[in-house]
Amino acid sequence: MSDIQNVECITEGKTGVLVFKDKLTKKGPGSKNKVPFYNPTMELNRDLSILVNQWLVNNNEKTMHILDGLAASGIRGIRLANELEGDFDVTINDWSEDAYALIKKNLERCGLKNVVASNRNLNTLLSEERFHYIDVDPFGSPVYFIDSAIRGIYNNGIIACTATDTATLCGVYPKVCLRRYGVQSFHSPIMHEIGLRILLGFICREAAKYDKGIEPLVCYSTDHYFRAYIQVKNGISYANESVDNLKRINSKELFFSSKQTTEIGPLWLGKIQNKNIIEEVRTLLSGKQLNTKNILWGFLDLLEEEADASAFFYTTDDLASLLKISPPKMEYIFEKLKEKGYDASRTHFSPTGFKTNASRDEIETMFKHQK
């Protein structure tokens, strides 16, 4: 049993939570050795889950059963219990005895009524109980929990999962990706978008086994993790519609790799954001006390901007280096594309990235004629 005395209180949102004093402060995915683990760099990730859950509770008339499935200190679940308004309850689960002890201590301090601690293997719990929201926030890959989450989610419920096996999803370890996700990955300037689409494709296939379809609501990649909020819809027609979004692509189709001919996939090539829901989630920001409020505002804005854009993007620096010219300013690209009537949007995947329906030839001409 951990020394439950060796803790300090940190505050996220409007909730004080006890975490162990040796908590990590560096950026990164974290390590399995720190149990119960707390990663301060995941605050934005947790803040967004407050907003998505508030949206879920606001849009349902019955009691929403919410599960923080891999809870560690319990910070996400305790925050959800304390910071959401409306009709809901929260189960906070972790199989570690140390984590369970800390979660219970945190719950005693908070005095919240609508929340329980649980000390089970998440896969067992999800074989026996169902929830409207399931949060899967593992060390590394979420693949080991997706099958159970699909079985344990109510119709139209939301599964939120984090993946910190970024290198694998980004094509650094193709064999691992093939084993883990059943997908041929690809290391390239657009690896973060491919990685996210690998993850979504995997979840889609896991759901389809049970005649369920998926709708990605808010999905993104950051420097050290991927995160996906996915609504699950029961029924063969939803499952069929979803699998229609699974495709393989050839690297020849991607702008930077004319010589390579690798088959990539299967990838989810459907939408990765729901624009309306992003707008609604963003309006909830003003009613919440969140430390990352300003960053989240800009971030949701960016996700909304690219919500309707096609898959994959160009980057000014990679294209310029292929053409052996200096990269044009982003403003120049947007001005020219819009002048010619093309769609153009920024992308959260890269600060020098842009999405457009203009042809490669049109884009090259713009690059070559920049002033």
Ligand X SMILES: C[S@@+](CC[C@H](N)C(=O)[O-])C[C@H]1O[C@@H](n2cnc3c(N)ncnc32)[C@H](O)[C@@H]1O
> In the complex, which residues of this chain contact ligand X (CB under 6 A)?
30, 35-39, 42, 46, 70-73, 75-76, 93-96, 99, 121-123, 137-139
Task: Kindly tell me which of 17 and 363 has the beta carbon lying closer to ligand X.
Answer: 17
> Which residue, 48 or 363, is less far from ligand X as judged by CB?
48
DSSP symbols for 150-201: HHHEEEEEEEEEEE--HHHHTTSSHHHHHHHHS-B---STTHHHHHHHHHHH
- The answer for residues whose C-beta is within 8 angstroms of residue 247's C-beta and 6 or more apart is 265, 266, 267, 269
In this structure, what are the phi and psi dihedrals at residue 86, rounded to the nearest 5 degrees? 120, -160
Q: How far is the CB of 239 from ligand X (least distance, A)?
A: 26
Minimum distance, C-beta of residue 73 to ligand X, in the bound complex (Å) = 6
**Smallest separation, CB 331 to ligand X (Å):** 38
- With a CB cutoff of 8 Å and minimum separation 6, the contacts of 5 are none
Q: Would you say 39 or 185 has its CB closer to ligand X?
A: 39
CA 357 distance to own-chain centroid: 25
Query: Residue 153 CB, nearest distance to ligand X (Å)?
Result: 16
Q: Which is nearer to ligand X, 230 or 269 (CB)?
A: 230
**Minimum Å distance from CB 152 to ligand X?**
13
Q: Provide the token pair at 2.
A: 């951990």
Give yes or no for a contact between 76 and 54, defined as CB atoms under 8 angstroms apart: no
Q: Which is nearer to ligand X, 70 or 333 (CB)?
A: 70
* Residue with the CB atom nearest ligand X in the bound state: 70
Q: Could you tell me how many residues make up the chain? A: 371
